[in-house]
């Protein structure tokens, strides 16, 4: 019979042997090589072969991954070429001196845009006797009528209109103003003229007429230059175009209104309550009207336009929103030269 102490000793020895058992085959091989002195190099060779096997597996994995990426790229290029349209190939060809170059081969410069001028807005045509041609007169008349038909569609005009249309209201306003022209000078001599000019428009026109004029001036700022040029041409036609309705004001009445806005406290006060662009343009066209009257010897009130020329030029040169700014200043320079040569 084996005693309990002997059994316990055997178990301990068995556990110690199991702890000494190598964890990996490479370590076991190294231990065995210690017990085999005759074949010492064999253990080293086995350990080296194990490391090389691991490296070969890693290299094989990298090669497989790289091959997969290359195959995926080739597949993408192949399928993308199927969907895309074939590109045109251009072959360089030498052109002989006698051969004409095709229009597509020549580099064509972009066409130059012609700048619009005041003269190009309406093509002015005259007859040998100095009157305007029927086509030019009809062009101006059509522009005026179209402008008021355009206003009839605006909401700010509809709520003031009595049903007769903006053009009918305009003709009524023109007749009232032509029948009662203002006094464009003499305020320093007779103070009553100042009072009359200050309240002039509110005495001649009713509230709806004044409201219509103000609303049109405020809402049609974008086309102000074109519209004012058109009305200036229409009002200064005189007897050179037919006027069957007798709507056009006389040159004398037109001169008095130009002097009113240019030379009186009341007229200038009306303009300074409006926008800067409108004030400058109305002053500009009033200067043209008084200048033409002066050239014809019809400056009955002796209005001197020369003091107004230089300040107006400076203001117009500082106002950047005018499309025809250079033409306005050039025309004012011509008028200034005219008066300086006479003095």
Q: Which of 95-99, 275-279, 288-292, 317-321 has the lowest mean pLDDT?
A: 95-99
Verify that 58 and 159 share a domain, yes or no: no
**pLDDT of 303 higher than 60:** yes
| Per-residue model confidence (pLDDT) at position 103 | 47
User: Rounded mean pLDDT of the chain?
Assistant: 78
User: Whole-angstrom Cα distance, residue 208 to residue 159?
Assistant: 10
* pLDDT (mean) for 127-154: 91
- Within a domain: 130: no
| Per-residue model confidence (pLDDT) at position 51 | 63
- Within a domain: 11: no
What is the per-residue DSSP string for 48-103? HHHHHHHHHHHHHHHHHHHHHHHHHHHHHHHHHHHHSPPPPP----PPPTTSPPPT
- Within a domain: 209: yes
- Within a domain: 100: no
Verify that 188 and 277 share a domain, yes or no: yes
**pLDDT of 261 higher than 70:** yes
Phi and psi dihedrals of 132, rounded to 5? -80, 150
Place 325 in a pLDDT band, splitting at 50, 70 and 90.
very high
Verify that 54 and 149 share a domain, yes or no: no
Query: Is there a contact between 138 and 123 (Cβ–Cβ < 8 Å)?
Result: no
Verify that 297 and 213 share a domain, yes or no: yes
Q: Which of 65-79, 98-112, 152-166, 187-201 has the lowest mean pLDDT?
A: 98-112
Verify that 50 and 185 share a domain, yes or no: no
**pLDDT of 137 higher than 80:** yes
| Per-residue model confidence (pLDDT) at position 66 | 64
Within the chain, residue ranges assigned H as helices are 4-19, 25-35, 40-83, 118-121, 134-152, 155-158, 166-179, 191-198, 200-204, 207-219, 224-235, 251-263, 265-272, 276-295, 306-318, 325-342
Verify that 180 and 265 share a domain, yes or no: yes
User: What are 182-193's pLDDT values in tens digits?
Assistant: 999 998 899 899
Q: Using the 8-state DSSP alphabet, how is residue 156 labeled?
A: H
- Within a domain: 170: yes
- Within a domain: 110: no
Give the CA distances from residue 293 to residues 137, 205, 252, 259, in Å, rounded to whole numbers and listed in that order. 22, 26, 8, 11
Please say which residue of 70, 90, 114 terminates a domain: 70
- Within a domain: 6: no
User: What are 5-46's pLDDT values in tens digits?
Assistant: 555 555 545 554 544 444 444 444 444 444 444 444 455 556
| Per-residue model confidence (pLDDT) at position 113 | 53
* pLDDT (mean) for 295-310: 94
Phi and psi dihedrals of 81, rounded to 5? -70, -30
**Residue 240 structural domain:** 145-342
User: What are 213-250's pLDDT values in tens digits?
Assistant: 999 999 999 999 999 999 999 999 988 998 888 888 99
| Per-residue model confidence (pLDDT) at position 272 | 94
Verify that 190 and 287 share a domain, yes or no: yes
- Within a domain: 231: yes
| Length of the chain measured in residues | 343
Among 1-10, 60-69, 198-207, 286-295, top mean pLDDT goes to: 286-295
pLDDT above 90 coverage of the chain, percent? 46
User: What are 170-186's pLDDT values in tens digits?
Assistant: 999 999 999 999 999 99
**pLDDT of 77 higher than 90:** no
* pLDDT (mean) for 318-330: 92
Verify that 59 and 156 share a domain, yes or no: no
* pLDDT (mean) for 275-281: 95
Q: Which of 79-93, 191-205, 271-285 has the lowest mean pLDDT?
A: 79-93
Verify that 213 and 321 share a domain, yes or no: yes
**pLDDT of 59 higher than 50:** yes
Verify that 184 and 327 share a domain, yes or no: yes
Verify that 51 and 151 share a domain, yes or no: no
Verify that 209 and 62 share a domain, yes or no: no
| Per-residue model confidence (pLDDT) at position 256 | 96
The sign of the dihedral angle between the CA atoms of 255, 276, 150, 230 is positive
| Per-residue model confidence (pLDDT) at position 24 | 46
| Per-residue model confidence (pLDDT) at position 273 | 92
| Per-residue model confidence (pLDDT) at position 33 | 46
Report the domain count for the chain. 2
Place 70 in a pLDDT band, splitting at 50, 70 and 90.
low
| Per-residue model confidence (pLDDT) at position 129 | 86
Please say which residue of 53, 70, 87 terminates a domain: 70
User: Whole-angstrom Cα distance, residue 329 to residue 316?
Assistant: 7
């Amino acid at each position: 019979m084996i005693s309990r102490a002997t059994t316990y000793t055997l178990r301990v020895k068995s556990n110690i042997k199991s702890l000494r058992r190598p964890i990996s085959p490479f370590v076991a091989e190294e231990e065995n090589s210690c017990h085999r002195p005759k074949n010492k190099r064999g253990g080293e060779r086995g350990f080296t072969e194990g490391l090389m096997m691991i490296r070969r597996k890693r290299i094989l994995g990298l090669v497989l991954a790289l091959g997969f990426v290359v195959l995926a790229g080739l597949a993408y290029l192949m399928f993308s070429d199927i969907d895309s349209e074939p590109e045109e190939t251009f072959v360089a060809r030498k052109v002989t001196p006698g051969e004409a170059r095709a229009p597509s081969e020549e580099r064509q410069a972009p066409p130059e845009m012609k700048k619009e001028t005041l003269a190009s807005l309406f093509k002015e045509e005259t007859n040998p006797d100095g009157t305007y041609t029927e086509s030019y007169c009809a062009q101006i008349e059509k522009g005026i009528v179209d402008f008021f038909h355009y206003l009839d569609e605006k909401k700010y005009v509809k709520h003031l209109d009595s049903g007769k249309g903006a053009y009918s209201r305009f003709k009524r306003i023109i007749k009232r103003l032509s029948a009662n022209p203002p006094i464009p000078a003499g305020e320093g001599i007779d103070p009553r003229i100042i009072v009359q000019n200050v309240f002039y428009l509110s005495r001649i026109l009713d509230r709806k007429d004044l409201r219509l004029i103000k609303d049109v001036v405020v809402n049609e700022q974008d086309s102000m230059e074109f519209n004012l040029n058109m009305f200036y041409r229409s009002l200064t036609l005189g007897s050179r175009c037919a006027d069957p309705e007798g709507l056009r004001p006389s040159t004398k009445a037109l001169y008095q209104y130009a002097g009113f806005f240019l030379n009186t406290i009341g007229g200038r006060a009306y303009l300074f309550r409006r926008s800067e662009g409108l004030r400058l343009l109305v002053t500009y066209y009033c200067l043209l009207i008084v200048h033409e009257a002066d050239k014809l010897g019809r400056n009955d009130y002796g209005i001197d336009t020369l003091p107004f020329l230089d300040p107006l030029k400076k203001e117009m040169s500082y106002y950047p929103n005018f499309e025809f700014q250079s033409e306005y200043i050039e025309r004012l320079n011509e008028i200034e030269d005219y008066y300086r040569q006479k003095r």
